[in-house]
């Protein structure tokens, strides 16, 4: 059977059921991961509201995002006036430490010069105002993941300054779930390393019940920490593609390497044993300490689980979609358990996806790799290649339903289930959860379609 | 209250205490975390349920991605409306214009999906980059034979409510474009019901039982050809007046079709919606059938509601929804199950709506227009609210405060209109007000 599908030219000029969202959404998530920060989107009211709705539906947490609420007048005369009013109102209502301003297609097209406007605001007001940082996130350039990484870089570049010698490391985990960030913090504590994680929405977007609607939920990377990113021993960064679709942008770790000569350690997102080993190796090198027994034990248990479940997953065919770095990490995990990825798709369009997969994952068989893909294109390929499982966010559910193929929900967004923020993907522990999810999804599919409905595996 | 922003004080009032009129119809304050969306949203909401039309969003990806299959507006037939199409314009189009992309996108989609008509939503930056969307649409109409309608919906050009008006203007391009001008006797258009969770099927059934012919259901389970012929109806019945009374007015002006405002939520309003149509047609037969129908439904429903009424007696609710008509009906429906409304507000209500709301409310009830999370938090705390009724963006407010929550928004899966809907509503309020999980949220 011919497995690879040659799609040279796109059949449709339009995007049909996008497998991506826009840049200011990524910016908003990062700003939510900074302590005392209120995101402010500089554009029409809808941008903030739609993004809030999208994020609330996934995280099931309050996501307050203010808007400069452009009117026709603003679109003609520029957004300065509205931005000033917005900063004042946000300050009054939230008393934030930082206001994180993200631009939009609208403010970019009319040419608002954010640096200038913000500078003017600062000079016209006393010093008792919140820190103001901004990021350019025109939605016609890149996807939410560009918005995410560009914002991490912007916010680090805005504060990184403290150059005293310190023994800490910076960690830029990329767009992971709050549970992943929590796990990462646990790992860093256990290996006894002083780490600064940017962003850190592990609590803010997966909060405990307090009985209050918190204006500024506790947690997040602090300003002090952001300043100290300039004096770390190293920067650890997950993801190979990051925001490289735009050659002019740097990742935060790249910026710190250029500006402060901080060594940059670039790793795959640690999903699977190999990628997680690489993380612990890197941590061992940095700390000169052995990996704690807790994790070698977790690793051992994971191998044990791989063995227990290997027959249920080996040779199965999967369709995987999501952000580019996410799918790279996911298929490197699937490779080690013998699941064959028949389609690896992303709405991202860095132009690097194929190359990175060939170089970093070195898959055993040919994979259809498609960036700049949408869900209707994924559906077409799924119909042809008839995978056993679909692995990705909840937006692919309609394809799974139509074709009777089970969907293992991972990544972002999860809009049709509880617990999107609690999904674990990384480390031995996250991989364990993913392995169980995927194996059990396949087992259930077999069981549901068995004529006898057996009671033992 | 500390959390009410300067410039918003007149958008909040307490009945019996404050003498000012509730200020409304204002654009949201910059920096306020308004629960409203934009002009594009308003237009998309209204046109979305036209299921055999193609909906193409011309702009960068966000606007289309955030509105993909976002509403529970069901279709009994075609499902084209549930797909999200975007020209997904990039830097290149921003610099050189997006007309070519738009034209190519339209022609391909029309040929692949074979829609009865196409709507092109022109978003924030389209005008700014100099695209003449109207002429592309005309061009494609001529080539494909499928009518392509421009929806001028840049997000910044007003509020969500202005988007409703934009949608009504677009609909008027279809209305009257098919069939003669002859009026069909005893016929109605149902406007402003979005067929959420199949609510329209219930209404259809009620009206048809009364011997009424339904010409078009414009904003729910909508079809292009029905809308084209909707000018032949004898009467427009309009729910969700905030969004759709403009269409009814335009149809009245152009085709002399009278209109009537109704609501389908709660026993009183639902029954009124049936009686007033019978009254309008001045038909004893229709009225008899309506009385019979209401009688049988109510006889069945009232005893079932008793249980909930007893259980919920004394509970206090806060309502914050998009349309004011819904808020008004909810006050009545809640009263029917023993729940008192202590806060009521909407994103888009007008003066008249708020006056109705005020008259209907008890002394001490707080009325609010275009609120935001922090303000609403204060209002529900101050009034010791037990249950909040709202949409997705209000849900975390309720849950973080340990309040019950009832989703009365566009993505709900439970029919809340009509008599069956009233029972569902009571069950839903009960399920959230009486859940044992709230034992853990109370202060120790």
Average of per-residue pLDDT values in chain B: 94
Per-residue model confidence (pLDDT) at position B442: 83
Partners of B68 on chain A (C-beta within 8 Å) are 17-18, 395
Contact A93, B1 (CB under 8 A): no
**A103 inside 8 A of chain B by CB:** no
**B96 inside 8 A of chain A by CB:** no
Per-residue model confidence (pLDDT) at position B410: 81
Tell me the ipTM for this assembly.
Answer: 0.96
In A8-27, the residues whose Cβ lies within 8 Å of chain B are 11-18, 20-22, 24-25
What fold characterizes domain B187-292? Rossmann fold (3.40.50)
In A194-213, the residues whose Cβ lies within 8 Å of chain B are 207, 209-213
pLDDT band at B369 (very low <50, low <70, confident <90, very high): very high
**A284 inside 8 A of chain B by CB:** no
| Section B380-384 average pLDDT | 96
| A351 phi-psi bin (left φ>0, alpha ψ -120 to 50, beta other) | left
Of the segments A431-440, B241-250, B353-362, which one has the largest average pLDDT value?
Answer: A431-440
Q: Looking at domain B9-25+313-412, does it have CATH number 2.60.40.10? A: no
**B351 inside 8 A of chain A by CB:** no
**H or E element that contains A313:** helix A293-313
| Section B139-167 average pLDDT | 96
Contact A224, A318 (CB under 8 A): no
Distance of CA B328 to the CA centre of its chain: 14
**A99 inside 8 A of chain B by CB:** no
Cα(A353)–Cα(A356) distance, rounded to whole angstroms? 5
User: Nearest by CB to A52, which of B88, B90, B393?
Assistant: B393
**B112 inside 8 A of chain A by CB:** yes
Identical fold, B39-158 and B187-292: yes
C-alpha neighbours within 13 Å on the C-beta side of residue B294:
19
Domain ranges of chain B: 9-25+313-412, 39-158, 187-292
Identical fold, A23-206+213-267 and A275-280+291-448: yes
Per the listing, tokens 């729940």 go with: B339
Per-residue model confidence (pLDDT) at position A161: 95
Per-residue model confidence (pLDDT) at position A8: 58
**B409 inside 8 A of chain A by CB:** no
Tens place of pLDDT per residue across chain A (457 aa): 445 566 656 899 999 999 999 999 999 999 999 999 999 999 999 999 999 999 999 999 999 999 999 999 999 999 999 999 999 999 999 999 999 999 999 999 999 999 999 999 999 998 889 999 999 999 999 999 999 999 999 999 999 998 787 789 999 999 999 999 999 999 999 998 999 999 999 999 999 999 999 999 999 999 999 999 999 999 999 999 999 988 899 999 999 999 999 999 999 999 999 999 999 999 999 999 999 999 999 999 999 999 999 999 999 999 999 999 999 999 999 999 999 999 999 999 999 999 999 999 999 888 999 999 999 999 999 999 999 999 999 999 999 999 999 999 999 999 999 999 999 999 999 999 999 999 999 999 999 999 998 999 8
pTM of the predicted model as reported, rounded to 2 decimal places: 0.96
Q: How far is A201 from chain B (nearest CA, A)?
A: 17
In A320-379, the residues whose Cβ lies within 8 Å of chain B are 376
What does the DSSP assignment read for A250-268? --HHHHHHHHH---EEEE-
Among the ranges given (A164-178, B233-247, B273-287), the one the predictor scored with the smallest mean pLDDT = B233-247
Per-residue model confidence (pLDDT) at position B71: 86
Q: What is the CA radius of gyration of chain B?
A: 22
Q: Which CATH superfamily is domain A23-206+213-267 in?
A: Nitrogenase molybdenum iron protein domain (3.40.50.1980)
What residue of A is the nearest CA neighbor of B82?
A17
Q: Which CATH superfamily is domain A275-280+291-448 in?
A: Nitrogenase molybdenum iron protein domain (3.40.50.1980)
What residue of B is the nearest CA neighbor of A19?
B65
Query: pLDDT tens, B30-62?
Result: 998 888 889 999 999 999 999 999 999 999 999
Partners of B6 on chain A (C-beta within 8 Å) are 92
**B215 inside 8 A of chain A by CB:** no
| Section B19-37 average pLDDT | 88
* Tokens standing for residue B258: 């009278």
**A447 inside 8 A of chain B by CB:** no
Class of the domain covering B39-158: alpha beta
Cα(A175)–Cα(A188) distance, rounded to whole angstroms? 18
Contact B336, B422 (CB under 8 A): yes
Per-residue model confidence (pLDDT) at position A2: 46
DSSP β-bridge partners for residue A374 = A18
User: Nearest by CB to B60, which of A16, A48, A140?
Assistant: A140
Per the listing, tokens 């080690």 go with: A336
> Do A12 and B38 count as a contact with CB atoms less than 8 A apart?
no
> Do B105 and A93 count as a contact with CB atoms less than 8 A apart?
no
Partners of B5 on chain A (C-beta within 8 Å) are 89, 92-93
Contact B186, B156 (CB under 8 A): no
Per-residue model confidence (pLDDT) at position B60: 98
HEC readout, chain B: CCCCCCCCHHHEEECCCCCCCCCCCCCCCCCCCCCCCCHHHHHHHHHCCECCEEEEEECCHHHHHHCCCCCCECCCCCCHHHCCEECCCCHHHHHHCCHHHHHHHHHHHHHHHCCCEEEEEECHHHHHCCCCHHHHHHHHHHHHCCEEEEEECCCCCCCHHHHHHHHHHHHHCCCCCCCCCCCCCCEEEEECCCCECCHHHHHHHHHHHCCCEEEEECCCCECHHHHHCHHHCCEEEECCHHHHHHHHHHHHHHHCCCEEECCCCCHHHHHHHHHHHHHHHCCHHHHHHHHHHHHHHHHHHHHHHHHHHHHHCCCEEEEEECCHHHHHHHHHHHHHCCCEEEEEEECCCCHHHHHHHHHHCCCCCEEEECCCHHHHHHHHHHCCCCEEEECCCCHHHHHHCCCEEEECCCCCCCCCCHHHHHHHHHHHHHHHHCCHHHHHCCCC
Domain ranges of chain A: 23-206+213-267, 275-280+291-448
Cα(B161)–Cα(B324) distance, rounded to whole angstroms? 12
């Amino acid at each position: 059977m011919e497995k690879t599908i040659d799609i040279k030219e796109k059949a449709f000029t339009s995007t049909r059921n996008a497998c991506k969202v826009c840049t200011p959404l990524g910016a908003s998530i990062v700003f939510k991961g900074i302590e005392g920060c209120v995101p402010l989107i500089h554009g029409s009211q809808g941008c903030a509201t739609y993004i809030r709705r999208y994020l609330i539906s996934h995280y099931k947490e309050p996501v307050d995002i203010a808007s400069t609420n452009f009117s026709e007048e603003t679109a003609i005369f520029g957004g300065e006036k509205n931005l000033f009013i917005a900063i004042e109102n946000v300050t009054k209502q939230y008393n934030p430490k930082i206001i994180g301003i993200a631009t939009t297609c609208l403010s970019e097209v009319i040419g608002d010069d954010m640096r200038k406007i913000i500078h003017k605001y600062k000079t016209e007001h006393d010093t008792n105002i919140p820190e103001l940082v901004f990021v350019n996130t025109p939605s016609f350039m890149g996807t939410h993941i560009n918005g995410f990484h560009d914002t991490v870089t912007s916010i680090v570049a805005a504060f990184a300054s403290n150059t005293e010698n310190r023994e800490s490391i910076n960690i830029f985990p990329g767009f992971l779930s709050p549970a992943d960030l929590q796990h990462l913090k646990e790992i860093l504590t256990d290996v006894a390393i002083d780490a600064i994680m940017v962003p850190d929405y592990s609590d803010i977007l997966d909060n405990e019940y307090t009985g209050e609607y918190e204006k500024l939920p506790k947690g997040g990377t602090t300003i002090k920490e952001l300043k100290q990113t300039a004096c770390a021993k190293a920067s650890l960064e997950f993801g190979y593609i990051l925001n490289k679709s735009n050659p002019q942008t740097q990742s935060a770790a790249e910026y710190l390497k250029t500006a402060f000569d901080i060594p940059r350690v670039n790793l795959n997102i640690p999903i699977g044993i190999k990628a997680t080993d690489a993380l612990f190796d890197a941590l061992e090198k940095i700390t000169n300490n052995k990996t704690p027994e807790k994790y070698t034990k977790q690793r051992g248990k994971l191998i044990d689980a791989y063995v227990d479940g290997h027959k249920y997953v080996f040779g199965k065919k999967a369709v995987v979609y999501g952000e580019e770095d996410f799918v790279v990490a996911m298929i490197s995990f699937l490779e080690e358990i013998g699941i064959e990825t028949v389609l690896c798709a992303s709405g991202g369009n860095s132009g690097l996806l194929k190359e990175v997969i060939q170089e970093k994952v070195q898959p055993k068989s040919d994979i259809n790799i498609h960036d700049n893909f949408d869900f209707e294109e994924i559906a077409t390929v799924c119909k042809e290649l008839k995978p056993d499982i679909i692995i990705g966010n909840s937006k692919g559910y309609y394809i799974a339903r139509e074709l009777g193929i089970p969907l293992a929900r991972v990544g972002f967004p999860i809009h049709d289930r509880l617990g999107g923020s609690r999904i674990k993907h990384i480390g031995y522990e996250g991989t364990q959860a993913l392995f169980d999810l995927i194996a059990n999804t396949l087992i259930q599919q077999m069981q549901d379609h068995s004529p006898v409905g057996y009671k033992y595996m | 209250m500390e959390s009410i922003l300067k410039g918003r004080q007149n958008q909040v009032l307490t009945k019996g205490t404050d003498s000012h009129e509730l200020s409304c119809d204002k654009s949201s304050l910059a920096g306020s975390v308004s629960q409203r969306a934009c002009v594009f949203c308003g237009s998309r909401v209204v046109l979305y349920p036209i299921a055999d039309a193609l909906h193409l969003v011309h702009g960068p990806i966000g606007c289309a991605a955030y509105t993909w299959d976002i509403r529970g507006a069901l279709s009994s037939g075609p499902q084209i409306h549930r797909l999200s199409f975007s020209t997904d314009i990039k830097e290149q189009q921003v610099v050189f214009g997006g007309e070519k992309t738009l034209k190519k996108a339209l022609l391909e989609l029309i040929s692949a999906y074979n829609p009865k008509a196409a709507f092109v939503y022109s978003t924030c930056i389209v005008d700014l980059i100099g695209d003449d969307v109207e002429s592309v649409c005309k061009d494609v109409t001529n080539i494909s034979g499928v009518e392509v309608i421009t929806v001028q919906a840049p997000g910044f050009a007003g509020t969500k409510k202005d988007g409703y008006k934009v949608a009504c203007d677009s609909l008027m391009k279809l209305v009257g474009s098919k069939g003669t001008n002859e009026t069909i006797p005893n016929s109605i258009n149902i406007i402003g019901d979005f067929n959420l969770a199949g609510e329209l099927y219930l209404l259809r059934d009620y009206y048809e039982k009364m011997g009424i012919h339904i010409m078009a259901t414009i904003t729910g389970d909508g079809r292009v050809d029905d809308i084209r012929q909707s000018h032949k109806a004898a009467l427009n019945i309009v729910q969700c007046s905030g969004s759709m009374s403009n269409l009814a007015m335009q149809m009245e002006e152009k085709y002399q079709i009278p209109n009537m405002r109704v609501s389908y939520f709660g026993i009183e309003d639902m029954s009124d919606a049936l009686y007033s149509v019978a009254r309008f047609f001045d038909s004893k037969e229709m009225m008899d059938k309506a009385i019979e129908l209401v009688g049988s439904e109510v006889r069945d429903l009232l005893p079932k509601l008793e249980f909930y009424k007893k259980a919920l007696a004394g509970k206090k609710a806060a309502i914050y929804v998009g349309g004011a008509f819904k808020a008004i009906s909810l006050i009545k429906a809640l009263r029917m199950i023993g729940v008192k409304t202590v806060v009521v507000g909407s994103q888009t209500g007008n003066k008249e709506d708020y006056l109705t709301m005020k008259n209907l409310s008890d002394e001490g009830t707080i009325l609010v227009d275009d609120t935001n999370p922090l303000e609403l938090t204060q209002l529900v705390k101050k009034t010791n609210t037990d249950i909040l009724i709202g949409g997705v963006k209000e849900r975390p407010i309720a849950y973080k405060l340990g309040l019950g929550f009832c989703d009365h928004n566009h993505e709900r899966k439970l029919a809340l209109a009509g008599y069956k809907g009233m029972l569902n509503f009571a069950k839903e309020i009960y399920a959230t007000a009486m859940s044992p999980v709230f034992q853990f949220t109370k202060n120790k």
